[in-house]
Amino acid sequence: MKKTGAQIIVECLKKEGVDTLFNYPGGAILPIFDELSNAPIHQILVRHEQAAVHAADGYARASGKIGVVLVTSGPGATNTVTGIATAFMDSIPVVILTGQVPTLLIGNDAFQEADIIGITRPCTKHNYLARDVEDLAQILKEAFYVARSGRPGPVLIDLPKDTLINPTEFKYPEKVFIRGYQPTYEGHPGQIQRAVKLIMKSKRPILYVGGGIISSNASKELTLFAERLGIPVTMTLMGLGSFPGNHPFSLGMLGMHGTYRANMAVMESDLLIAIGSRFDDRVTGKIEAFAPQAKIIHIDIDPTSISKNVRVDLPIVGDCKRILSKMLSLLEEEDIHSFKEGLNKWHHQIEKLKVVHNMNYEQKDIIKPQYVVEKIYELTKGDAIISTEVGQNQMWAAQYYQFIKPRTLLTSGGLGTMGYGFPAAIGAQVAFPNKLVIDIAGDGSFQMNSQELATAVQYQLPIKVAILNNRYLGMIRQWQEFFYGKRYASSSLEGVQPDFVKLAEAYGAIGLRVDKPEEVVPTLKKAFSISKPVIIDFMVDPEENVYPMVPAGEPLNQMRLV
Amino acid sequence: MRHVITLLVENEFGVLARVAGLFSGRGFNIESLCVAETLDPMVSTMTIVTRGDDQIIEQVLKQLNKLVSVIKVMDLIEKDFVEREMVLVKVSANSETREEILRVVDIFRGKVIDVGSKTYTIEVTGDEKKINAILALLKPLGIKELVRTGHVAMVRGSKASTEPGA
């Protein structure tokens, strides 16, 4: 029996095990919505297409599955672009299905036409224009494969309306073979052996790990490896949770707002073992001065990440999990005992670095944002899923919440997208209805996607939004204070903000306001006990800064501590 | 340093835009680019001439390889190869210069493919050096228009450099 394109798409989604769609309808895409009305797929209607992609991205990060988005042509498609670029920069598997005007109208400036293939070419891992219904099943199969394999990323499929209506025989391909796309998973055995030898010769090694550990599900292997050899671990923002933040070997995050001990340890290290991390400028600071004494081993699934920003002494292309497993088995033949003894001095050196209290604040009569984050951690014991917005809130969340398990931090690390956290929390809560999901937000960022309160209320998603409300675009204000002579152009929101409590109530959510430090814990407890979306408006110190800070372009050891 | 890169790509919608977009988006430069179908109509060859230091060229090659529609990438600079470019040149020709132009064309084994009352249109094929040399000689005689195809290149010897898997 023949099926229409729309029916084929729904069948393909079922074959791929898709049970949730983040969507927003429109004229060009209606044939699929029509088919979905009786399909066993949970549909989450967002209130803006950008949020659909962030939600699918949050769903993917939290669950490890592919997030799927369905939107219409023209503005529906263009609204997804920031979400797609966010997922692309952080290597998150998302499949985006966009409607398109009928093939005959493409190029005619038709109503709600946009060249979304052209627009998203540089911010997708790959994209497809499905011009013929005959190709549809193959394209969907490939799209899901490309999104999840290798270095994961977003894949977009543009669906002209006639493709959705035309009928053909449906046959879902069993296998995918793309001759131009064959990711390397197994690391080169010789290189792995050489890496182990290099590690065994080092005296001051450090593991510098990133989001690649999380996307390859290699946390267990990483922890085993670090423990077996006694090597300290520092994580990038994207890597938080890949290694327990409360582990004695954890140095915390490195980089611009990294810990004193992590940054200093990198500068003093003689061997940097980079795994699933990419030497981002926010991590390295001044690149010429980065880890000056260290040889560098770089393990990454993406060959383009290697030697892009720094020279690498020993590259290994492949999957972090498989390579770590191989290295673990090679350790059997090494004299680990004397290696570990050789590290005693290094550990002693790092202990001394820990004495510098860089993460300190004084909780007096105004609520400190750091205090709120610390209390969220203490109350949840690190067992919640935390999303963040971008700016000071993001950095305080990274610094004061100890991420213990992978996939518990959802944050826009690469693109730095304000407005990401709340819709991402929606996606995570959809994936895990019974988990506590908290968006640590700023008052500026939250307003970039606050319309999604309607979505959270509609689907009874009990997300908690902790707004660290300093009435400023805080990170902007901080940069203006440090580098622009305290000229606070366009960064103050004092007196021009909505009442977040009333905003929550207007949507049918719960709003709570906290302005005294002693109310922080009781209010958090109260919020966590409510099975509805709750916004907690914490009126925090407006002029608090994020420390330590390495000014952009400075070496990592040039930290402002206060 | 100058590099000649040969790509085998899927002969499909948008592939040129993917390659060109990669160069512009990442700030790599393209000196010339040629693209056309191979014997297999599903596959096209692109020949790209670019410049950059070793680190940039390494990134160019890796980034090209990363494109899903790119089947194979080869930097010919690492190999012994032949390259050709064709140019069409319209040169002013009067009674004083006609002889000289014909002599130059003959020396460079070019062809006059069109004659006007005041011009010759010349076709010349060769590598970069040869093309530059003839242009240097024709320039003082008065070049009115010049169109270059960009370079195509191939590895020397019996092995086919453009076979997928070669």
Percent of chain B with pLDDT over 90: 92
Residues 46-105 of B with CB under 8 A from A: 55, 58-59, 62-63, 65-72
Q: Which pLDDT score, from 0 to 100, does residue A83 have?
A: 98
Residues 99-118 of A with CB under 8 A from B: 117-118
Q: Which CATH architecture has domain A2-169?
A: 3-Layer(aba) Sandwich (3.40)
> What is the average per-residue pLDDT within A304-315?
94
Percent of chain A with pLDDT over 70: 100
CATH superfamily of A189-354: TPP-binding domain (3.40.50.1220)
**Chain A residue with Cα closest to B70:** A180
pLDDT tens across B28-83, in order? 999 999 999 999 999 999 999 999 999 999 999 999 999 999 999 999 998 899 99
- Do A410 and A428 contact (CB within 8 A), yes or no? yes
Residue B165, Cβ density class (10 Å: 0-12 exposed, 13-18 middle, ≥19 buried) = exposed
- Do A513 and A537 contact (CB within 8 A), yes or no? yes
Q: Which pLDDT score, from 0 to 100, does residue B162 have?
A: 58
Residues 6+ apart with CB under 8 A from A98: A29, A71, A72, A73, A76, A77, A80, A116, A156, A157, A158, A159
Between CA B46 and CA B9 the distance in angstroms is 7
Place of tokens 């979306």: A533
Q: Which CATH architecture has domain A369-539?
A: 3-Layer(aba) Sandwich (3.40)
Query: Is B59 close to A121, i.e. CB distance below 8 A?
Result: no
Q: Where are the domains of chain A?
A: 2-169, 189-354, 369-539
**Chain B residue with Cα closest to A131:** B13
Residues of B in contact with A126 (CB under 8 A): 68-69
Domains (range + CATH), chain B = 2-79 (3.30.70.260), 82-153 (3.30.70.1150)
Residues of B in contact with A118 (CB under 8 A): 14, 17
In single-letter form, the type of residue at position A260 comes to: Y
Decide if pLDDT at B165 tops 70: no
Q: Which pLDDT score, from 0 to 100, does residue B158 have?
A: 84
* Residues of A involved in catalysis: 49, 111-112, 161, 475
**Chain A residue with Cα closest to B63:** A304
Q: Do the domains A189-354 and A2-169 match in fold?
A: yes
Q: Which pLDDT score, from 0 to 100, does residue B166 have?
A: 45
Measured in whole angstroms, the distance separating CA A250 from the mean position of its chain's CA atoms is 20
> What is the average per-residue pLDDT within A226-233?
98
Interface test with A, best of B42, B66, B163 (most A CBs within 10 A): B66
Least confident among A13-27, A463-477, A502-516, B152-166: B152-166
How confident is residue A15, by pLDDT bands cut at 50, 70 and 90?
A: very high
Could you tell me if A201 lies within 8 Å of chain B, comparing CB atoms? no
How confident is residue B163, by pLDDT bands cut at 50, 70 and 90?
A: low
Place of tokens 């996939």: A407
Kindly report the three-state secondary structure assignment for every residue of A280-312. CHHHHCCHHHCCCCCEEEEEECCHHHCCCCCCC
Decide if pLDDT at A356 tops 90: no
Residues of A in contact with B17 (CB under 8 A): 118, 121
Q: Which pLDDT score, from 0 to 100, does residue A221 have?
A: 98
Decide if pLDDT at B8 tops 50: yes
